[in-house]
Chain A
């Protein structure tokens, strides 16, 4: 299933180069657009975060068409009323309908972890989730972690430890790390962290720095609480 594929009945809108989202994205690249274009996706996330001062507006689709279901999703604190077909996948709805493209699609089969986000504070693979199943749920994506310009401790630690190369797996890594650091059942030693994060594959092999970042963030989160 492709992101930009039309007419497969997946309930996913197609990508249009002239759409406001595209313009907003280009604008968000701003003066240092060239640098941003070559920087890892992670850096782009941080930069987009900076210029996106206004929060994502709540979306209300109105009455559902035949074959659609109306659902309510609270994403990063904003409540949206959306009409989706039964086969619409949560990952695609967030990326293509709500234009929250921080959550990535890697394998689309539950194998890589790029699509990891939090549903009611639990980390799950959004590529193996139907949007309709999540009616009423609270969802946190990478876009919802920072507090304005203040990065979440895990984001800050990834930044400082250079815990990425291409950056494609990074938002999934960070979301898993946030869940793990908030879970008392998971040990704090390196082996436990590696095991708990093994569902987040990094093609670039940045694992050493990812582990360092997670362990560093643990200290920062303790300090904060």
Chain B
């Protein structure tokens, strides 16, 4: 593996100053994305700043009902936290559906937000890939684009899905990302954090060079809501989503009073389906309502040669999830 300078940070400020506004540096959290990509020579940091000793491992309930998660809380610890499991079941379920026991033990909240695409052409180091080599083209558009390629939010420059399960649940819940950088602290709305590929697929997120994620703060849970994460994949465990849905609903009798819907496996970023939500609110919880909302969620979908099946599959992920939740 490519060698690098290594610094272990004891404080957030030290981490930010060790990293500097230099693009050739990388923060090391669980390492399950970073070291994987350094080993296969896709990421080549000259400086690695190890943030594992930072005091960012707590989950706190704030006075306003929100929940603040430290950047270094592991995926296992977050999924198992009692408050998360009861107030944000969708998040707990999404986390537990991702990766493997060992990987979840290492993977962190911020690392998961920052994970890179699983597109094989990005990872092979030789194919044309605008993300890896801006301007080189996108081998996936005419290539094998079945499992980790999107139908929503794609551009002629990149069609890779954002692979995270956790982020889909967070997109449904609503959240704020707090960052600390060379220019101080700021907050970013979770839904603005991941960028659409557009003309610049190499730009994946809203962080400025050197910024460190310190917390992800979840919006307060909807009163009397139920939520569920449904992940559809090629095998029953340990596989990225072909299509997934994170759904939160509140009901009065059989009327849906509020709904949140986000999708995974089908979009180039964790995909919040606002229009589908609008089609659910105030409606009776019937299959016809669910079908209509699911259709709306994929209204702007673009299928590619091998992934057109994701449109009906994604719609089914919405309908089945709502059916379970309102039964």
- A residues at B contact (CB < 8 Å): 1, 8-11, 67, 69, 85-87, 89, 108-110, 113, 116, 122-125, 128-130, 132-133, 135, 176, 179-180, 185, 194-200
Contacts and interface: CB of A to CB of B under 8 A. Distances in A.
Given A108-B39, A109-B39, A130 B103 contact: no
Nearest to A123: B102
A109 B103 CA distance: 11
B3 interface: yes
Given A86-B6, A124-B106, A133 B40 contact: no
A180 B238 CA distance: 16
Given A113-B102, A123-B105, A198-B237, A128 B36 contact: yes
Interface core residue of B1, B8, B35 (most chain A CB under 10 Å): B1
B238 to A, nearest CB: 4
A10 B101 CA distance: 27
Could you say which interface size class chain B belongs to? 20 to 34
A115 B105 CA distance: 14
Contact of B48 (A86, A196, A197): A86
B256 to A, nearest CB: 31
A176 B32 CA distance: 17
A13 to B, nearest CB: 15
A125 B102 contact: yes
Interface of B: 1-6, 8, 28, 30-32, 35-36, 38-40, 48, 50, 52, 80, 99-103, 105-106, 237-238
Contact of B1 (A89, A110, A135): A89
Contacts of A125: 32, 102-103, 106
A194 B235 CA distance: 13
Given A86-B48, A116-B102, A198 B4 contact: no
Contacts of B39: 1, 108-109
A199 B101 contact: yes
Contact of B2 (A67, A87, A194, A198): A87
Contact of A129 (B2, B8, B48, B106): B106
A9 B44 CA distance: 14
A86 B8 CA distance: 11
B6 A69 contact: yes
A176 B31 contact: no
B151 to A, nearest CB: 26
A132 B5 CA distance: 11
A67 to B, nearest CB: 8
7 contacts: A10-B3, A86-B3, A108-B39, A123-B105, A128-B103, A130-B6, A198-B100
B35 A130 contact: yes
A194 B237 contact: yes
A33 to B, nearest CB: 34
Contacts of B36: 109-110, 128
B103 A199 contact: yes
Given A87-B3, A132-B6, 6 more contacts: A86-B5, A123-B102, A125-B103, A129-B31, A132-B50, A199-B99
Contacts of B5: 86
A3 to B, nearest CB: 13
Interface core residue of A10, A123, A132, A194 (most chain B CB under 10 Å): A123
Contacts of B30: 128
Contacts of B50: 130, 132-133
A132 B8 contact: yes
Nearest to B37: A109
B237 A130 contact: no
A124 B52 CA distance: 15
A143 B39 CA distance: 27
Contacts of B237: 194-195, 198
B1 A10 contact: yes
Given A113-B100, A124-B106, A198 B3 contact: no
A197 B173 CA distance: 29
B238 A122 contact: no
A8 to B, nearest CB: 7
B3 A185 contact: no
Contacts of B101: 123, 176, 179-180, 196-199
Interface core residue of B5, B102, B105, B106 (most chain A CB under 10 Å): B102
